[in-house]
Structure 1
């Protein structure tokens, strides 16, 4: 039994300490999401400056997620065995190197390698936050705290859009990324100062270490957790494909918005997710149920996306409302994370989250490539200002992946266990 639950250890912890630690770590998550979404804000400049088409740009963006595929599972295993604080700091260093390197890129290959380095950091940040929350807060608070963490993370996606498109227009996209790297240095100092691994007693608890392959096998064969990963992945598609890659290109080319306006509209998906993640988490904790909310998110997202695809001549204001609503509704994906942690042994929390996160962050790398391939497949070869120009019909074909993905999320709910009502116990 863990000493973390003893009254004596509980008295030693200041009530504000878990919040300070987990919120500080959440800023790392926000910073990593900034690296993911800033590519959308800079997309027209990057495509033109590096002479890319949609498939090549999607490939560049997806290298961030390829790093997740390769490092998420090792990240979970590493976090189960080593200091979370130290892992976060090393991962953040990789991200800083990638961001600074990308700002100096002049070729597709070098840019891809640098963005891959940023993705290595991302492989560790979310799992680190989940693990800290599982150690510092009781289970009955997890849905709300994880929702709050996602809320903080989404601010990184918001900051990545209009502010960085304005910085890029004022200076250049290269200088904007250097400013990005400087922000990361400040974050490194903050995490170094405030983040701690766990309440003191848990630091000596190492009595129950499951062998590597046994733990991996148990995590992979947990069908509930696999389906939670698939649900979260497909409900997360608007963030991964529109807000992170093709949103600005879609709005500037099809609807003739200028880049700052397009970036602002794209950021509304993140803003909607900020509101929705906390809202879904609070409602789920109040009801002690998740499944009805997860069904609601799927069904309403399918209907809303059909409206986004086919509404004639929408204004920037209307698109902002629609994208906000899309982020709000699809943020039911945040309920998948606590469902995983609650159905995994304590000693396999990191490994289980690593397996699920390989799905959550890995599949979107293929989905981004698929969207780019579909755009290029339907493209008629038109070039404007030295860059490919894609029509509304091109984007409609590519964006059909969204309602299909939402429908798949709905199907996964058949195998996802609903949360059982329980009363909190303190031992």
Structure 2
């Protein structure tokens, strides 16, 4: 016969199990939601990997291809503000599931597109999902974790997301070459169904605080007005947007075409080199977040990232005959130092009332996604303006000069991001919308 358990032991085990559960649950929730961010970045960056096939199959010019890519970001621009307001008022878990469903429909539809119009509509549908995706992850982090951990968590979330960008390059290029770009996108859609099941099982809304400040909600348009008039939000959005351009333009649209046409790199190696931007962001984002949380400063690291990124890109733009190994290193360093853009997100959540977290993020995100939505077709237009009409195997061939003219957008953007930093504030006490401090 077994001896009786010491009195109270069972209770202590229950307390221990609950403590472990409560400690791990925030990490499980936020990291699971981050996989949705990775899936959305896959849909954004996959256009670069299949660009030669898509341009040939749908008979597109650079301007048309740039416009097609921009429909994804256009959906972000249109739906980001509504997304922020919806997330301030409704279940984050339910919003994520609906947004992912829209993305799945868009991806499956794109694989069957036979015209530019149909492809644009389906890519736009995937972009609607992305409008809710990133903000949802930020909302979960801000509600499940304290302020002093949020920069690191945002960096970690971006790290996970960048794996989607990496898969969208060489692995997806090989998949599309082995099958076709249409079959590869259908496989992509089926993978999204598995992700839907995972998020349904593990993502949960944060519990509401026991002690809640009793107050009337801020009117809808008043909250929007205050978020827009907060210059800090606008400048954080501008900084993040222009530091993000290599990911949005080179990694998502023109990187493979630039390397294959100007530097005669094979399409598989080109997509691998382009993926180094995402790899650099994977390494850099949590490092920036961790250092920033330790020194309790954002602006110094953001300025450092902007200056070094400008220098690296000028080397990429002017180096006459770099090797593939040199390009691999330069693209990695570009991704690493531009990942200072990850600090723009906690800078927004720390300097806005908790009731306006989603709306403020939505205002900044309109700039972060909206400006690249304009630059993607603009960069294609710049390529077409200087193009001499050369076609190789049915695909327009652009010279090094054509790309240099189009890529001047990047150093100009880095300079704008540095000017925007002048009006970015360091961490402050979190305020309610009536300007009274709250415990956080």
TM-score, scaled relative to structure 2? 0.92
Q: Of residues 248, 259, 271 in structure 2, which corresponds to 1:263?
A: 271
1:362 is aligned to 2:370 = yes
CA distance in 1, matches of 2:344, 2:212: 30
Partner of 1:121: 129
Asked if 2 retains the 8 angstrom alpha-carbon contact of 1:208 and 1:347, the reply is: no
1:285-296 superposed matches below 5 A:
285-296=293-304
Deviation for aligned residue 1:207: 5.1
Partner of 2:413: 405
1:339-418 superposed matches below 5 A:
339-418=347-426
1:7-406 superposed matches below 5 A:
14-201=22-209, 208-406=216-414
Partner of 1:6: none
Task: Please give the secondary structure, in 2, of the residue aligned with 1:15.
Answer: helix
What's the Cα RMSD here?
1.9
Deviation for aligned residue 1:418: 2.2
Task: Please give the secondary structure, in 1, of the residue aligned with 2:264.
Answer: coil
CA distance in 1, matches of 2:85, 2:38: 23
1:374-412 CA-to-partner distances (Å, cap 9, x unmatched) read 100111111111111000000000000000000000000
Asked if 2 retains the 8 angstrom alpha-carbon contact of 1:289 and 1:421, the reply is: no
Partner of 2:8: none
CA distance in 2, matches of 1:362, 1:295: 23
Gaps of 5+ in 1: 1-9
Task: Please give the secondary structure, in 2, of the residue aligned with 1:250.
Answer: helix
Asked if 2 retains the 8 angstrom alpha-carbon contact of 1:288 and 1:420, the reply is: no
Deviation for aligned residue 1:315: 1.4
Quick check: which has more Rg, 1 or 2? 2
Asked if 1 retains the 8 angstrom alpha-carbon contact of 2:158 and 2:282, the reply is: yes
CA distance in 2, matches of 1:421, 1:269: 35
Q: How many residues matched?
A: 416
TM-score, scaled relative to structure 1? 0.95
Gaps of 5+ in 2: 1-17, 431-437
